[in-house]
Structure 1
C-alpha cells in the first residue's frame, strides 16, 4: 500500500549522499565528493559542515550529538559542535568506517589498522596491522571491546591492546559487521554471498550461504533478536532469540529489486525501513508471521519511487525517518505511532 507520508522537511544538497547518521537533534549527511552537512533534525536547517578531501564513505554522530566523525578513501575528519572546529587527517589510506564507543571515544578504520581516538582527535591507541584493509568495526561489551573485520577473521581488542585478545576466523572478505546489542552474536556479511555468525562467548560458528549477491548490509534491531540483511532482492530477517538461527529459515520481505538501505525503527516493535535502487522506501512489520513467511510492506512512501536510488536511511527518533537519495534529495518523513505504521 502506497500512502502519502507528511514531510517534516525536504531539501536538496549538491553532493550525492552516501551515508546518513542521526543522533539527538542532529542529522549528518555525507556526500560522495566529501561534503558532510550537519542538519537540524526537526527543521532540516544546516547547523554546520566540513570537507573531507578525497570523498566520504561514512559518517557517524556521537551518541550525545556533540561530535562527528567522517571517513573516506584518503582519511578521516572530526567535527565539534560547540564551535564548529574541524580536524582533518589525510592519512592517504582507505578509511571505510567508524564507530563510537561512547561520547568520548571513537574507533576509525584506517587502512589495515583500527585507531581509537578521543572525541577531539587525539589518538589513544591503535591495533597492529591486519592481514588486509579493515572493512568494518563495532564495539562490544558496552565499549570495552572492539571488533575489527578484515580478510580472514574478525578480531577482538581490549582497551590499549595492539594485539587481538580473541579471533573469530572465516576465510573470506567481510563487507559488513553487526554485533548484537546483547553482545551474544557477531555477524559478518561477506563477498562470497554469505552471512557468517559466531557466538561471542565460545566462538562456535554458523554460515548462512546461498544468497544470490554479496551481503553488504547487516542490521540488528535494538533487542538483538532480529537481524536484517541484503544480498537478494528480498530483505531477509533472521530470528536470533533463544538458541539463535541454526536450523531455521528467515522471513523474506519483498519489495525491491535491489536493496540499498536498511534501518530498524527505535524500540522493540520489530519495524524496519528499507530503501531500493528504484527510489522506493518501504516500511515493514518485519518480525510478523512465521519462518519462511513472505511479507509485503505495511506501506511504501509516496514520492520516493521516482527512480532515483535511496542511498541511506536513518531514524531521528521513533517518529522521524530520514531518507537520502543519490540525486541529493533529503527528506524527513513524519510517521505515526509504532503500532500504526
Structure 2
C-alpha cells in the first residue's frame, strides 16, 4: 500500500493505493474498511488514509461491515466469513464453504451474516446467537428493522422477517423473483427489493400493502434510502432514479432522473438528510447531486463530477464531510466537503 500527500485541490483529503481490486467500502467513526476481491481487508484511518491493520479472508471478499463503534468488522465472501476485533487485532476466520454475500450490524453486539440459505446472528467474538430456518435459495441481502429487533432476509420468492431467536419468520413479504438488493426505510415504514427482473418491489410494513415499479431496462441491484427515509435511489438504468416516499409513498408518481453514467457502480447518500447523493460509474466518474431538487420527472445534472481513469468500485461517507471513493485500480481517495450544504 502506498500513500501520497494531499492534493493541492482543497477537496482532496488523501490518496491511498491498496494492492488489490477493491469491491466494497465501509465507514464508521474514525475507521474505513476496504475489501479487496482476493480477500484482503484494509482498515484505514479516516482522517489520514494510513493503515491501521489488515486481515485476510480465504477465497476472496465480497463485503466488509464495520460495527457502529468501529471496534469490530465482519467480512464475507464466497467460502465463508471473518471477524476482526480492533482492541487486540484478533481475527477469527470461518471457512464454511457457504456463500456469505453480506453482513449487517444491528448494534455493537450483534451482526447478521448471510450463510448460504440461512442468516446467522453472531456476537462479535463469533458465538452464534441464533439462526433463521433455510430459505428457498441463497440469501442475497439482509437488513435490520425496529432498531435491531427484527431482521429482514431476502432470498428467491420473498423477503422474510424474523424476530430475535425465531427460527421461522414472523412476517413474510412474497414476490416471485430473485431479490438482488434490500433497502429498509430508517423509519421502518417501507421494505424495498431490487430485482433480477428489472423491477423494484415495495411493501408497506404495517399492512403488507405492496407496489411494483417495473420497466427498468436492466436488473436493479443497488438501492439506498437517505437518512430521512423519504427518498430512495436506485440503479437499473443509465439514469439513477430517485423516488419520493413522503406522504402515501411513490404509487402513481414518477421519479427524478439523474443522468451521468452509462453504467452505475455505486450509490451513497450524504448523512444528515441534506438530499445530497454521490454516485459512481464504470467510467471512473464520481458524480455529486442535489438529488431531491426539482419535480417528479425532472432530469437533473450533477452539481460536480470527480474523474478518475479507473472504474468506481464503491463509495462511502465517513461522516457528512468526507466522501471515500474506491477505484478498481486500487486507488482509495478521500474527498473533503467542508460545509453540510456545499457540494
Quickly name the TM-score band, shorter chain normalised.
Answer: over 0.9
Partner of 1:126: 131
Alignment partner of 1:83 out of 80, 84, 88: 88
Partner of 1:166: 171
Pair 1:305 & 2:323 matched: no
CA deviation after TM superposition for structure 1 residue 316, in Å: 0.4
Unaligned runs of 5+ in 1: none
- Alignment map for 1:184-333 (pairs within 5 Å): 184-301=189-306, 304-306=307-309, 308-333=310-335
After superposition, what is the alpha-carbon deviation per residue over 1:242-270, rounded to whole angstroms, capped at 9, x for unaligned? 10000000000010001000000001110
- 3-state DSSP of counterpart to 2:147: helix
- TM-score, normalising length from structure 1? 0.97
Alignment partner of 1:34 out of 23, 39, 48: 39
CA deviation after TM superposition for structure 1 residue 154, in Å: 0.2
After superposition, what is the alpha-carbon deviation per residue over 1:124-150, rounded to whole angstroms, capped at 9, x for unaligned? 000111000000000000000000000
CA deviation after TM superposition for structure 1 residue 5, in Å: 5.7
State the distance in 1 between where 2:65 and 2:342 align.
Answer: 30
- 3-state DSSP of counterpart to 1:232: coil
- 3-state DSSP of counterpart to 2:326: strand
State the distance in 1 between where 2:82 and 2:174 align.
Answer: 31
After superposition, what is the alpha-carbon deviation per residue over 1:149-179, rounded to whole angstroms, capped at 9, x for unaligned? 0000000000000100100000000000000
Cα RMSD (Å): 0.7
After superposition, what is the alpha-carbon deviation per residue over 1:188-225, rounded to whole angstroms, capped at 9, x for unaligned? 00000000000011111100000000000000000000
State the distance in 1 between where 2:155 and 2:10 align.
Answer: 40
State the distance in 2 between where 1:5 and 1:111 align.
Answer: 45
Q: What is the total number of aligned residue pairs between the two structures?
A: 335
Structure 1 stretches of 4+ moved >3 Å:
none
State the distance in 2 between where 1:119 and 1:201 align.
Answer: 32
Pair 1:101 & 2:106 matched: yes
State the structure with bigger RCO (CA 8 A, min sep 6), 1 or 2: 1
- 3-state DSSP of counterpart to 1:142: helix
Partner of 1:114: 119
CA deviation after TM superposition for structure 1 residue 6, in Å: 2.4
CA deviation after TM superposition for structure 1 residue 305, in Å: 3.4
